[in-house]
Each structure stands twice: as C-alpha cells, then as structure tokens.
DNA sequence: AATTCCGGTTGATCTACGTCAAAGCGACTT
DNA sequence: AAGTCGCTTTGACGTAGATCAACCGGAATT
C-alpha cells in the first residue's frame, strides 16, 4: 500500500501529536476493502480551483498532501476564507449535491476522492464511518468557533500570531526543535491568503509581520520561512486562553 | 405526550419553513422508547448560566423553548458569541467530558437533557441518531462559516441587517405576514448580546439600529419589537449573495 | 543584461468603528 | 411621587486598520 494510503487511513500516525482526522482511522479490513473500491486520486497545481461554490459535487475527499482553502466571496468581491484543509482533512458533505464554497489548491495538492453515492451507502451500513465523520465535523466546528473569536475580537497583531501558531502546531516540522521551545516552518499561504483567513487586508498583514519581526517574536528568512525562537511567547501574543487550541 | 416532546421529536413541524433540527426526527418507536428513559427536563431563567466553559458536562441536550447562547471569553474580558441556540437546536458533544464554551440562557429556557453515557451507547447502536447528529453538526458548521464571513468582512450595518434576517427567518411569527413581504418579531437579545454576536460594541449596534430605522429598513416599537416592511430589502442590506442562508 | 512579473513592503492619508461620557426611559421599589 | 436600576440612545473624540500609491527584489523571459 503506497504511503498516501497509509496516511489517509490513519495508520502511520501512532506518534502524531495532533488529533488524527482521517476518515477511517478505526475501520476494519472489510470496510477498508470497500473504501478501496470507490476511491481515486486527483492532483491539482498550486492556485488551481478544485471546485467552485455551487458546482455539482459527486465526491467527498480527503487531503493527502498539500493545502487547500475554502473561501466565500460576496458579489462585490470581498473574500473570507472559511476553511483551511491540511493533509488528512476532509471536504464535502454527504447529503448535499452542490459545493457550498470555493475550494482552491493553495499549494500543489493531492486529494483522495470517494465517489459520493457509494460512500453514503457505506456510511449507512457502517456506524464507524458516520461516527468518525461526526467526530471530525465536531472538531471542525470547534476550529470554526475559535476562528470566530479571532475574527470578531482579536487585534491584527493577535490574529497574525494566532495564525502562525495554528500553522506551526499542525506542521510536522514542528517536532524538530520542540524541546527548546523553538520552531521553524514554511508559510503555505501568500500575504493575501493570510489576509483572507484573518479578515484583514494584505497590507495590514505585511505590516504586522514586520512588527512581530522587529519585536523579536518571529524571524523571517525570505518571505515564507518563519523561525519562532519561543513558541510560548508567540502563543501569548495570540491572546489565547485555551489549552493550546486542542480541547479534550 | 406533552407538547415539548412533540416539538423535540420533530413531529409537529410538517409546515415548518426552516430545516428541522431535532435529534430524532427519524427515530422509530423503539429508539424513541430508549431516549424516553434517559431524558429529563431542566429550566433556566433568563440570564442564568447553564454551564461554564471547562465544567464537567455529563449530558447532551436539545432546546425545547427559549434561547441560549454559546460564548467564548478572553482573559481580558473580550467576549464573542459563537453559537445561538433556538428551539430544537442541540448542545453538547458526545465524546468530550467538559464544556468548551459558556452556555447562557438568553431568555427563559427549557432544555431536554439526555444523560451522556447512555446517549452515546444509543448512538453506537442506532445509525439513525449518529447520522441525524452528523447532519445537524454539518448545518451548524455551515452556519458558523456564514458567520465567519459576517465577522471578517461585513460592515456594521450589514452585520445588523444579517442578524435581523437570521432571527426573522428562524422565528415562527414570520409566517404571519410573509405573503406581503412584511415581517415582525421580537428581538430575543439585548444590544450587548447582539454586539457579542456581531463582533461590535453595543454603542455601534445601537447607532446602526437607529440608522436602519431612520432609513425605513426597519421599524422599532419599544426597544425589542422589530417590524420589517420589506424583508427582501433587509436581506439586500445584509449583503448576502446566498440563497437566503439555507443551502439545499 | 535588460524586461517583465508577481508577491511583498512601506508610507501617507482617510474613515469606520471603538472609547468615554452623559443623559433618556420604562419598570420596580419605597 | 421620588428614587434607583438596567438597558438604551446619543454625542464628542480617538485610533486601528483600510485605502491609495509608490517602490522593492527575486525569478522567469527575452
């Protein structure tokens, strides 16, 4: 079984520090066999649109590698990102024929798609899958609510710090230096995408990034590589009172 | 069977214009019987706190009558509402021991609670319940994402208009005059609660309400009774491009 | 090596909304 | 009738972040 299958199915992550989000982490062999029959892979280049809001969507999918975004757009062009999909995250809604948001590849992207009809059938037969999906959806709902606090009440500086710590936490390379409290990672988003995530303009994002750099909270190498000397300090800047963003 | 049971179970709403959200709209008699055994009712007065964030929570529940809010608070007191629970909405997360948000009664409130342990067991046995819960959670996720667009990108005036149209849409009294495009309803929230919903201050809420009144978009009778002469105009003010906020 | 392009930075200015403060108003208490 | 309490409105003023505009710098193109 190729690597991405393992990742998708959640069996290579015994030491994964974050809650694992793949669809069928607890499926048995027979169920896996059935999923095997209805799945196929699709690749997208960075910047490519996966689906437009309103399009017919006859599959559900899981991100294998790369990053995708969900965004909403108003008639006059104002845009708000409403979802950031990292590897193992799930897209698509059983029981809805059309996509509700634009899905875009932020980086080169590989998705594992399941044909919707048979997936839904599998869901009615195997309680595991529905329950796992419920768990994942509840996690997403929690993330959305954390995000709402960010959008509604945080300052620009706090928003940036929050986003950086969210990305750092979900990025595997985090593990490299975690003992010392220092972290380094590559930003998968442009300044504009960050702005769409945070409900800011790209200019404000740029200014606040510079400010965090000036104040020694982060280091910048080029435009994308972020070095965080003290992760706790970053989290403090983010203004979070939660237990690091992962409840339970 | 008393009225609230009927409402909870979703059997008195054949003509309900909004998507019905009760837990067990599709349960069979046997399942209902089991739910019957693990449920009890609780009442709260307006303003009373149902649960504090972090508290042990050994039940899940469904709102029977009244309105409850979910809010998050930062250390320095900034507050953001992240959920508004109307009758038939569900609170609580199977599989999590503690509450993640403050739950407060915005009006006098009756909730139908299910003891968590047996509810979870019922869920593993009856696919209906898990699937219904998944559906409801996905609806909530959609609402949260619509809300994120509001918080991140809408102006104060648009935010107010959006909130009013959301409440109007979910309020039963809406039906009374819908043929003419006119609607009237009572606001269940104080200005401060509206502000917490919208990521604004209560002063800005008050000013924008006055502005909408001055411009004839709404009429105010006292502080709480809202009359909307032309619902489409209100929706236009809200800046929504969606199909009225209810996706398929 | 020059040109273009794209994403990013920085500066000057504007404005929507927040902050602080005072006063209105209906409901309840004495 | 007067006082007080909670909620709301309104005004004067301040500011964080938006807007508009110029410029920068690396990578790809010629």
Distance A43 CA to C9 C1' (A): 33
The answer, yes or no, to whether residue A188 has pLDDT greater than 70, is: yes
- Name the band, by pLDDT with cuts 50, 70 and 90, for residue B94: confident
The number of residues in chain A equals 248
The answer, yes or no, to whether residue B100 has pLDDT greater than 50, is: yes
The residue among A150, A167, A198 that closes a domain is A150
Contact A199 B80 (CB under 8 A): no
Using DSSP's 3-state secondary structure scheme, residue A110 falls into strand
Domain contains B77: yes
Considering the domain architecture, whether residues B51 and B110 belong to the same structural domain is answered as: yes
Q: Identify the pLDDT of residue B177.
A: 60
List the structure tokens of A207: 């200014």
Higher pLDDT among residues A242 and B126, named by residue: B126
User: Of A76, A123, A241, which has the smallest distance from its Cβ to B75's Cβ?
Assistant: A241
For nucleotide D26, give the residue with the nearest CA to its C1'. A222
Return d(Cα B184, Cα A138) in angstroms, integer.
Answer: 34
Return d(Cα A235, Cα A218) in angstroms, integer.
Answer: 12
Return d(Cα A168, Cα A59) in angstroms, integer.
Answer: 30
* Chain A, window 119-158: residues with a beta carbon less than 8 angstroms from a chain B beta carbon: 123-124, 127, 130-131, 133-135, 137-138, 140-142, 144-149, 151-153
List the structure tokens of A233: 């300090």
Considering the domain architecture, whether residues A160 and A142 belong to the same structural domain is answered as: no
**Domains in chain A, number:** 2
CA A141, A143, A145, A151 torsion: positive or negative?
negative
Considering the domain architecture, whether residues B122 and B174 belong to the same structural domain is answered as: no
Domain contains B247: no
The answer, yes or no, to whether residue B37 has pLDDT greater than 90, is: no
Contact A149 B82 (CB under 8 A): yes
pLDDT tens per residue across span A143-163: 999 999 999 999 999 999 999
Return d(Cα B106, Cα B67) in angstroms, integer.
Answer: 5
Q: Which of B31-35, B114-118, B149-153: highest mean pLDDT?
A: B149-153
Domain contains A244: no
Considering the domain architecture, whether residues A216 and A200 belong to the same structural domain is answered as: yes
Percentage with pLDDT > 70 across chain A: 82
Percentage with pLDDT > 90 across chain A: 65
Looking at residues A96-101, what average pLDDT do you find? Answer: 94
- Name the band, by pLDDT with cuts 50, 70 and 90, for residue B28: low
Mean pLDDT value across chain A: 85
Q: Identify the pLDDT of residue B114.
A: 92
Kindly report the nearest CA distance between residue B2 and chain A, in angstroms: 31
Looking at residues B108-126, what average pLDDT do you find? Answer: 90
Owning domain of residue B178: 156-238
The answer, yes or no, to whether residue A18 has pLDDT greater than 50, is: no
Residue B153 contacts by C-beta under 8 Å, 6 or more apart in sequence?
A74, A78, A79, A80, A199
The answer, yes or no, to whether residue A178 has pLDDT greater than 50, is: yes
Residue in chain B closest to A141 (alpha carbons) equals B141
The answer, yes or no, to whether residue A13 has pLDDT greater than 50, is: no
List the structure tokens of B232: 């489409």
The residue among B104, B133, B150 that closes a domain is B150
Return d(Cα A138, Cα B138) in angstroms, integer.
Answer: 8
- Name the band, by pLDDT with cuts 50, 70 and 90, for residue A7: very low
Q: Which nucleotides of C are covered by protein (CB under 7 A)?
A: 7-12, 16-21, 26
Asked if residues A230 and A181 have their Cβ atoms less than 8 Å apart, the reply is yes
Name chain A contacts of B127, Cβ cutoff 8 Å.
124, 127, 130
Looking at residues A41-48, what average pLDDT do you find? Answer: 93
Q: Which window residues (187-246, chain B) lie with Cβ within 7 Å of strand D?
A: 190-192, 202-203, 205-207, 209-210, 220, 223-224
Name chain B contacts of A241, Cβ cutoff 8 Å.
73-75
Within 10 Å of residue A200's Cβ, how many Cβ atoms? 20
Considering the domain architecture, whether residues A138 and A164 belong to the same structural domain is answered as: no
The residue among B150, B180, B206 that closes a domain is B150
Within 10 Å of residue B174's Cβ, how many Cβ atoms? 18
* Chain A, window 77-106: residues with a beta carbon less than 8 angstroms from a chain B beta carbon: 78-80, 82-83, 93-98, 100-101
Domain contains B203: yes
Q: Identify the pLDDT of residue A14.
A: 34
Q: Identify the pLDDT of residue B172.
A: 60
Domain contains B46: yes
pLDDT tens per residue across span A63-95: 988 999 999 999 999 999 999 999 888 999 988
Considering the domain architecture, whether residues B134 and B190 belong to the same structural domain is answered as: no
Q: Identify the pLDDT of residue B170.
A: 83
Kindly report the nearest CA distance between residue A211 and chain B, in angstroms: 22
Considering the domain architecture, whether residues B78 and B137 belong to the same structural domain is answered as: yes
- Name the band, by pLDDT with cuts 50, 70 and 90, for residue B20: very low
Domain contains A246: no
DSSP A37-100: HHEEEEEE-TT-EEE-TT-B--EEEEEEES-EEEEEE-TT--EEEEEEE-TT-EE--TT-SB-S
- Token match 């899958």: residue? A129
The answer, yes or no, to whether residue B55 has pLDDT greater than 80, is: yes
The b/e string for A145-176 (b: 16+ C-beta within 10 A; e otherwise) is bbbbbbbbbbebbbbbbbbbbbbbbbbeebee
Considering the domain architecture, whether residues B196 and B74 belong to the same structural domain is answered as: no
Considering the domain architecture, whether residues B191 and B209 belong to the same structural domain is answered as: yes
Residue B207 sits in a domain whose CATH number is 1.10.10.10
The answer, yes or no, to whether residue B19 has pLDDT greater than 60, is: no
Q: Identify the pLDDT of residue B131.
A: 85
The number of residues in chain B equals 248
Considering the domain architecture, whether residues B199 and B101 belong to the same structural domain is answered as: no
Residue B61 sits in a domain whose CATH number is 2.60.120.10
What ipTM does this complex have?
Answer: 0.90
Q: Identify the pLDDT of residue B230.
A: 93
Domain contains B246: no
Looking at residues A188-193, what average pLDDT do you find? Answer: 97
Considering the domain architecture, whether residues B115 and B204 belong to the same structural domain is answered as: no
Looking at residues B50-55, what average pLDDT do you find? Answer: 95
Higher pLDDT among residues A246 and B209, named by residue: B209
β-strand A39-44 against A90-91: which pairing, if any?
unpaired
Considering the domain architecture, whether residues B11 and B121 belong to the same structural domain is answered as: yes
Cβ contacts, strand C, under 7 angstroms: A 190-192, 202-203, 205-207, 209-210, 220, 223-224; B 155-157, 199-201, 203-204, 222
Domain contains B30: yes
Return d(Cα B219, Cα B236) in angstroms, integer.
Answer: 17
Asked if residues A1 and A62 have their Cβ atoms less than 8 Å apart, the reply is no
Return d(Cα A89, Cα A60) in angstroms, integer.
Answer: 11
């Amino acid at each position: 079984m190729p690597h991405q299958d393992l990742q998708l199915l959640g069996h290579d992550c015994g030491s994964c520090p974050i809650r694992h989000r793949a669809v069928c982490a607890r499926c048995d062999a027979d169920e896996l066999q059935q999923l095997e029959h209805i799945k196929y892979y699709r690749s997208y280049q960075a910047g490519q649109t996966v689906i437009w809001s309103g399009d017919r969507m006859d599959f559900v999918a899981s991100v294998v590698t790369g990053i995708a975004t969900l965004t909403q757009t108003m008639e006059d062009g104002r845009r708000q990102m409403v979802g950031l999909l990292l590897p193992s995250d799930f897209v698509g809604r059983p029981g809805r024929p059309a996509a509700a948001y634009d899905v875009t590849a932020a980086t080169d992207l590989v998705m594992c798609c399941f044909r919707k009809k048979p997936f839904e059938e599998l869901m009615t037969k195997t309680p595991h899958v529905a329950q796992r999906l419920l768990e994942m959806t509840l996690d997403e709902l929690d993330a959305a609510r954390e995000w709402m606090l960010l959008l509604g009440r945080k300052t620009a500086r706090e928003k940036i710090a929050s986003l950086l710590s969210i990305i750092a936490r979900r990025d595997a390379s985090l593990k490299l230096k975690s003992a010392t409290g220092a972290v380094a990672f590559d930003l998968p988003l442009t300044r504009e995408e960050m702005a769409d995530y945070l409900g800011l303009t790209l200019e404000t994002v740029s200014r606040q990034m510079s400010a965090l750099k000036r104040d020694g909270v982060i280091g910048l190498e080029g435009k994308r590589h972020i070095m965080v000397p003290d992760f706790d300090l970053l989290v403090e800047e983010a203004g979070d009172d939660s237990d690091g963003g992962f409840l339970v």
